[in-house]
């Protein structure tokens, strides 16, 4: 396990500039980093694993989140839908391969979540035909995907009907890698072009999203806290190494920040350690934790940069990478702006 983390550490800059850590992601499966869920309370263990990786490399920690989010969708679909035995066995087999790293994949829920909040239009359209749906449109910025990877997506049939399905990146899809980011270039983030893509019935996860998504969303967001916690702990370790007389006045509120991190980690544990009864209330509480962790992540990264001084301002420095990855935590769906809007509504 430590060997994989050491490899990630040594490849940190290459990954940030575009090297997809495929081998490391597959090797992490041997240590149970992708969870074939049987109970929602297992989310806590997944958060811990995402944190461990994110402390070394935020890019790879995000990919581990993508992989687990895909498994979470499958768990929710198989738990809260009445599938026939053949379909249940089919999805179980895919989930097993994802958990073993034989299949890698991600999540295409960023656009639909933003569309439901009124930030943008739903990019995918669905037309029901015999045996499934035809999907058309362009889905921007789907992460942890490449040829033969899988991801989940939501397409709009009409104003009231949506379908969520498991998408395979085969030859009928077009993946475009034409956008450059300021960080996380090694996250295999691409836009996906659908042109009469056939979503076969056995790949459909839900056609009743008003009932299904409340089961999905708490875990979807909760697992992101592992990325934030990993980056915060990396910041804490860097600050501990550079504490000196010159930085003392910069770190007057460090004990308070450390305490706040511990309290937020305890809060997410308290939320998830018991069976989820009211999914809407749980989702609100998880959103509040991510909001606070997102702000705290930024504050810690800022402290690292300020304490490092000009050294931190060098390109590819630890402070530089932490700052950019922390901003990613703040803007990845649901972003801090998105969360504030959701919390202002009666969910």
Tens of pLDDT, residues 69-106: 999 999 999 999 989 999 999 999 999 999 999 999 99
Summary mean pLDDT of the chain = 94
Looking at per-residue pLDDT, the higher value among 159 and 23 belongs to: 23
What's the pLDDT at 159?
A: 79
Helix 254-272 vs helix 225-242: angle between axes, to the nearest 10 degrees? 160
- How many folded domains does the chain comprise? 3
Please state, for a pLDDT cut of 70, what percent of the chain lies above it: 98
Residue 129's domain is classified under what CATH number? 2.40.110.10
What's the pLDDT at 36?
A: 87
Write the Ramachandran bin of 115: left for phi over 0, alpha for psi from -120 to 50, otherwise beta.
alpha
Same domain, yes or no: 228 and 332: yes
Single residue among 208, 238, 270 that ends a domain in this structure: 208
Same domain, yes or no: 204 and 215: no
276 pLDDT above the threshold of 90: no
Same domain, yes or no: 51 and 66: yes
For the ranges 12-26, 94-108, 244-258, 318-332, the lowest mean pLDDT is seen at: 244-258
Q: What stretch of H or E contains 196?
A: strand 190-200
Confidence of residue 277 (pLDDT cuts 50, 70, 90): low
201 pLDDT above the threshold of 80: yes
Confidence of residue 274 (pLDDT cuts 50, 70, 90): confident
Same domain, yes or no: 93 and 195: no
pLDDT in tens, 307-343: 898 889 998 899 999 999 999 999 999 999 999 999 9
Same domain, yes or no: 236 and 247: yes
Q: Is the preceding peptide bond at 334 cis, omega within 30 degrees of 0?
A: yes
What's the pLDDT at 245?
A: 56
Same domain, yes or no: 197 and 253: no
pLDDT in tens, 278-291: 789 999 999 999 99
Same domain, yes or no: 276 and 296: yes
What lies within 8 Å, CB to CB, of 116 at 6+ separation is none
Residue 246's domain is classified under what CATH number? 1.20.140.10
pLDDT in tens, 260-270: 999 999 999 99
What lies within 8 Å, CB to CB, of 66 at 6+ separation is 105, 106, 107, 143, 144, 187
33 pLDDT above the threshold of 60: yes
Query: Which residues form the domain of 81?
Result: 2-99
Strands (E), 201-337: 204-206
192 pLDDT above the threshold of 60: yes
347 pLDDT above the threshold of 60: no
What's the pLDDT at 246?
A: 66
Same domain, yes or no: 165 and 272: no
Please state, for a pLDDT cut of 90, what percent of the chain lies above it: 84
What's the pLDDT at 241?
A: 87
Single residue among 99, 131, 153 that ends a domain in this structure: 99
For tokens 């501990």, the residue is 240
Confidence of residue 60 (pLDDT cuts 50, 70, 90): very high
What lies within 8 Å, CB to CB, of 238 at 6+ separation is 304, 308, 318, 319, 322
Q: Quick one: tokens of 314? A: 């060098």
Q: How many other CB atoms sit within 10 Å of the CB of residue 228? A: 34
206 φ, ψ (degrees, to nearest 5): -165, 145
Same domain, yes or no: 258 and 331: yes
Same domain, yes or no: 178 and 228: no
For the ranges 163-167, 250-254, 313-317, the lowest mean pLDDT is seen at: 250-254
Same domain, yes or no: 145 and 166: yes
Between strands 204-206 and 124-129, the pairing is unpaired
Same domain, yes or no: 231 and 113: no
Single residue among 99, 134, 158 that ends a domain in this structure: 99
Q: How far apart are CA 126 and CA 135, in angstroms?
A: 5
37 φ, ψ (degrees, to nearest 5): -60, 145
What's the pLDDT at 126?
A: 98
Confidence of residue 150 (pLDDT cuts 50, 70, 90): very high
């Amino acid at each position: 396990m430590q060997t994989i983390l050491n490899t990630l550490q040594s490849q940190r800059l290459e990954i940030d500039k575009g090297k997809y850590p495929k081998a490391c992601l597959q090797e992490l499966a041997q240590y149970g980093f992708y969870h074939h869920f049987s109970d929602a309370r297992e989310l806590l263990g997944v958060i811990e694993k995402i944190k461990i990786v994110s402390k070394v490399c935020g890019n790879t920690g995000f990919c581990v989140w993508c992989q687990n989010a895909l498994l979470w969708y499958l768990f929710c679909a198989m738990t809260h839908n009445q599938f026939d035995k053949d379909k249940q066995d089919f999805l179980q087999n895919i989930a097993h391969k994802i958990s073993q790293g034989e299949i890698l994949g991600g999540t295409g829920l960023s656009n639909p979540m933003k569309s439901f909040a009124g930030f943008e239009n739903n990019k995918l359209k669905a037309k029901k035909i015999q045996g499934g749906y035809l999907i058309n449109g362009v889905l921007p910025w789907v992460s942890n995907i490449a040829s033969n990877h899988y991801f989940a997506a939501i397409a709009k049939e009409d104003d009231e009907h949506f379908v969520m399905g498991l998408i395979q990146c085969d030859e009928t899809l077009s993946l475009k890698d034409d956008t450059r980011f300021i960080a996380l270039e090694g996250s295999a983030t691409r836009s996906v072009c659908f042109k009469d893509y056939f979503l076969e019935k056995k790949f459909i996860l839900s056609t009743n999203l008003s009932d299904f998504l409340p089961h999905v969303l708490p875990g979807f967001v909760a697992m992101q806290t592992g990325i934030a916690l990993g980056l915060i702990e990396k910041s804490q370790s860097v600050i501990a190494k550079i504490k000196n007389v010159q930085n003392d006045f910069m770190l007057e509120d460090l004990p308070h920040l450390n305490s706040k991190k511990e309290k937020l980690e305890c809060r997410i544990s308290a939320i998830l350690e018991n069976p989820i009864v009211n999914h809407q209330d749980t989702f609100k509480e998880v959103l509040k934790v991510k909001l606070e962790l997102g702000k705290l992540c930024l504050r810690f990264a800022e402290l690292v940069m300020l304490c490092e001084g000009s050294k931190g301002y060098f390109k590819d420095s630890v402070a530089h990478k932490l700052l950019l990855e922390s901003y990613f935590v703040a803007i990845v769906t649901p972003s801090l702006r998105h969360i504030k809007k959701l919390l202002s509504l009666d969910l």
